[in-house]
Amino acid sequence: MKTRTVGIDLALKHSHEAFILDEAGQPLGRSFSFPRTFAGFSQMLKRALKGLAETAKLTVVMEPTSLAWVPLAVFLVLRGHKIYLVNPRRVADLRKFYSRHKKSDRIDAKVLAKLPVIDKDTLTELYLAPGKVNALKRYCQQRDKLERSIALQKNRIQAVFTEANPTALEAFGGDKFTLIGRAFLRYYLNPLKVKGLGIKRFTRILARKAHGELDESITAKLFESCCDTIAIYQGALEKDTLPFSYEELQDEVNLELDLMEYKEAQVEKLDKKISQLYQHLDPRGEIKSIKGIGDVHAPIILGFAGDITRYHSGHSYCGSTGLVPGKKQTGGTDRKGLNITKEGPNLLKKTYYMAAETARHWDVEMAERYHRLTGRGLHHKQAVCAIGRSIAARAYAVMKRMDLAQNGLLSPEEVPYQLRDLEGKQITAQKARELILIRYPSKAAQSKKRGRAATAIKYARQSFPPKADQLKAENSSKRLESSHLPQMVPA
């Protein structure tokens, strides 16, 4: 059956641009524009199918420009045509070949139309996920965006305190945004205000704002740091030359706290929606049976995967995550140890990386692999990326078994992932953790063990000196004593 290839350069505000190639790869006239409406889509389709049978199907190639591709893709998929969304970097590289010193919509459309001819093996047909799967994916993306925004606001608040009250936040240790921490941040940026209250009254007020959850040692450290800040800025305060205003900085901090707390409330709402959708798609929580994948990571993996049968193998799925190493082969040589491709979604890459960080502490096989890779000289992040790729392969296997179980081809009891030792025996999570602590201790544990051993040897030598050293000391002592004895002179 004859077919044609259409390259479409999508636009956000203006008309789309299309370029058509026939079955032999030859252009059918010049490129043309069409509006972003139903009539425009119909016009483009009619022009692309002109002269072909009614059953002919087009191959359409587009870049994923924002979400402008969705309406056109749905319109074409419903009519049976094949859609390919290509990596913008590949299009940019081919565009440089065709026109080095200029860029236009016509050139972009031409480049997209020629991609199936030049680089067909790398193209993947568009998959339109069902509504619930797509909603799960987008909720997860939105949640991640809010989490990153909250982290930036926390950094901003800490930066303001570094200027206004340098050592105050050190009193809270690792978590500066507890209930008492937020009470201090919202009301007591100005150290003069704290000193004016006195430590007893300051402690009582902070305890009331923190609903009684207060460690008095923290308030003592806070009061001391405020007094130290006043000593630093004493001269500037007396001369009124301080380069900032405490009142304005407090307003800035309070605004950041308000925005942060609002976003945290939105994250809680998203968590409920994500949990409901995930429960509907994976009621038994099979994906969470893999160590390292929990309530946050499992919905992300399921949302991005969608229909797992569209991947013909685990290697294909791992390739979509971007965690596989690149390929560079020529003649009889095949280079190893190349960087990962990083072509997968950023959120999915981050998810598998974080899952790998946890899995190496609870899965014996992952711990052994991490120990082996770092022993060969790989950096920590390189080893964790390699483990993340293994976690992705396991997630593919579990999702594949989930699909088989839904179709009645596999027992539900065979779906979850089972922890095993290096001999292949099934073990519990607690047993796996014990084996890892014994066989693959962390660097901190190894250093601590070496330190204890060195200390034990030191004290052992002090308490029980070696026999040779003891004899040597006794002999030298005797020689010293004999040298001071009076000489016996005969009468």
CATH 3.30.420.140 fits 4-128, yes or no: yes
Q: Residues 406-435: what's their mean pLDDT?
A: 94
Which SS3 state, helix, strand or coil, does residue 419 take? Answer: coil
CA dihedral 274, 280, 285, 287 (to 10 degrees): -70
- pLDDT tens digits, one per residue of 234-256: 999 999 999 999 999 999 999 99
- pLDDT tens digits, one per residue of 155-209: 999 999 999 999 999 998 888 998 889 999 999 999 999 999 999 999 999 888 8
> What predicted TM-score, i.e. pTM, was given to this entire model?
0.84
Q: Domains of the chain: which residue ranges?
A: 4-128, 135-278, 282-328+339-439, 444-475
Q: Does residue 489 surpass a pLDDT of 60?
A: no
CB proximity list for 202: less than 8 A, separation 6 or greater: 188, 194, 219, 222, 223
Q: What letter does residue 123 receive in the DSSP assignment?
A: -
C-alpha pair distances (Å), 115 with each of 84, 416, 477: 10, 41, 92
- pLDDT tens digits, one per residue of 387-402: 999 999 999 999 999 9
What percent of the chain has pLDDT above 90? 67
Q: Which helix (H) or strand (E) holds 19?
A: strand 16-21
Distance, CA of 317 to CA of 329 (rounded, Å): 22
H runs (alpha helix) in 80-214: 88-98, 105-118, 131-164, 179-187, 191-197, 199-209
